Amino acid sequence: MVVAGGSNVAMFKLKRGNSSAHNVISGDNSDEDLSRKNSSVCFPSMAEVDRDTSYVSFTTFNILAPIYKRIDPQNPVLRESDFRPLWMARNERILDSLLSESSSIMCLQEFWVGNEELVDMYEERLGDAGYCLFKLARTNNRGDGLLTAIHKEHLSVVNNRELFLNDFGDRVAQLLHVKSVSPFSQNQKGSFHQEFLVINTHLLFPHDSSLCIVRLHQVYQILQFVELYQRENRLKPMPIILSGDWNGSRRGHVYKFLMSQGFVSSYDIASQYTNSYADSNKWVSHRNHRGNICGVDFIWLCNPNQARKPLKTSWAEAIFSMLKYQLRKATLSEDDAFAFLKGDHCVESVTYFSFSKALHKAKLIGVPYGLCFQQLQDLWNQADVDGNGVIDYEEFKQKIWNSKCPEHVFGNLIGSMEDTNTNEEEAIGFKVKNAMLSPREVEKGLWPENYSLSDHAILTAVFSPARMRCSVSQYCSQLVHANIC
């Protein structure tokens, strides 16, 4: 559903305030709580962000549907949806916060699509502020869904697609192909219209470890969906933004899988956090129903110049990583793990039968929502490198035990992306200019007890358009089945 609004708001403006934690990244380190700096990188101050109207800002926020919000710890059946004054007041405050951010694009999760009064409230207030709204309900009448709002003064929607994952959890995703209304100018190189793809989604909550495969497959389906849209519409290289509640942390398999596909977390880039264990818990964005706090909300960026493995290869590596984790959790050494995969056979290699049996014991297949037959076959094809029908010890080490998701060079993501190589095609991508979480305490890994907007924090990221070189052969390899190169 599309709702057009009338009046304008100040675009790309990131407000300072007591309710938000806006981190200024500059060369001045006089206040270490407010400044994060690197000797080779200087991010703009918020004042600079305010002035530059070529910047595009994104906000993602799980607004906690009233049908899920518990209001009495002693009576978990009692929900906020039973008390209209409560959910009306909280959602008015949510809208106040969102409109104070004035982001170009807002991606909301757990939007109560089943309540017409709440839907009308969002349509009226966001529409009056100049946003076009696209909403999508989860399947099986779950009651909640997604809402994506695009500010029409500066951005137009070229196309939009809906993805129904049709799996456990009734999850959905929205894809919007967006284009800047006015051309941007950059130095002496002329002007251009910025185009990019935006995906809004909400992954399954991992109630137990067996559901990690489901979440991984949900991301796999989303990326397949994006690739299909690119092929069918013969799109030129452009940035891809994945936004939403991923229900998984920086240490999880989904995070590593997306990294292997060329995506980076905008907040981690702006904060200059690495993929090290030490940096993995420095911020949080969610306090779940179990009382645990963790960072699960992301705005992912994949630029057109990022090298990406074939999707099936990355997916297989992620599954192998899960298998290795379980084997190491059982304190198996490399040799013991290979013996486990071989099973009771006397041969010095892993057969398809013993491989299947081992994955069954590891609860990757043969369980509800485990791998299907075709996925098992795809895994086998990846592991059997030489195609001789068995996995020998060297193939086991290469594909399963020593396989790692690639680390991306930090400097390549935030430094200069200009290139004079005439064998490459120029593309327009994004640079991460800044990112922030609200309320302020979550950026320090704390959850404020007086925060009542939601059980999630608000994440906002600011990008600027940047010219970069994109290898034509690299891009065509990603779309090889499209026959368009």
The token pair that represents 358 in the structure block: 């081992």
The token pair that represents 94 in the structure block: 């949510």
What is the value of pTM for the model shown?
Answer: 0.82
Written as tens digits, the pLDDT of the chain (485 aa) is: 444 443 333 333 444 333 333 333 333 333 333 233 333 344 444 445 555 678 999 999 999 999 999 998 888 889 999 999 999 999 999 999 999 989 999 999 999 999 999 999 999 999 999 999 999 999 999 999 999 999 999 899 999 999 999 877 899 999 999 999 887 765 556 677 889 999 999 999 876 666 788 888 899 999 999 999 999 999 999 999 999 999 988 878 888 899 989 999 999 999 999 877 777 789 999 998 788 899 999 999 999 988 778 888 888 888 898 888 888 888 889 999 999 999 876 778 999 999 999 999 888 888 777 888 888 999 999 999 999 999 999 999 999 998 664 443 333 333 333 333 445 678 889 999 999 999 999 999 999 999 999 999 999 999 999 888 876 554 454 544 434 44
Own/partner pairs, 379-383, CB within 8 angstroms, 24+ separation: 379/316, 379/319, 379/320, 380/352, 380/355, 382/312, 382/313, 382/316, 382/317, 382/320, 383/316, 383/320, 383/350, 383/355
Which domains can be identified in the chain, with CATH numbers? 46-309+408-482 (3.60.10.10), 314-401 (1.10.238.10)
CB 176 within 8 A of CB 198: yes
CA 143, 144, 149 angle in degrees (round to 5)?
140
Question: Rounded CA gap, 437 and 19, in Å?
Answer: 10
How many C-beta atoms surround the C-beta of residue 72 within 10 A?
9
How many C-beta atoms surround the C-beta of residue 270 within 10 A?
22
Question: Rounded CA gap, 163 and 386, in Å?
Answer: 36
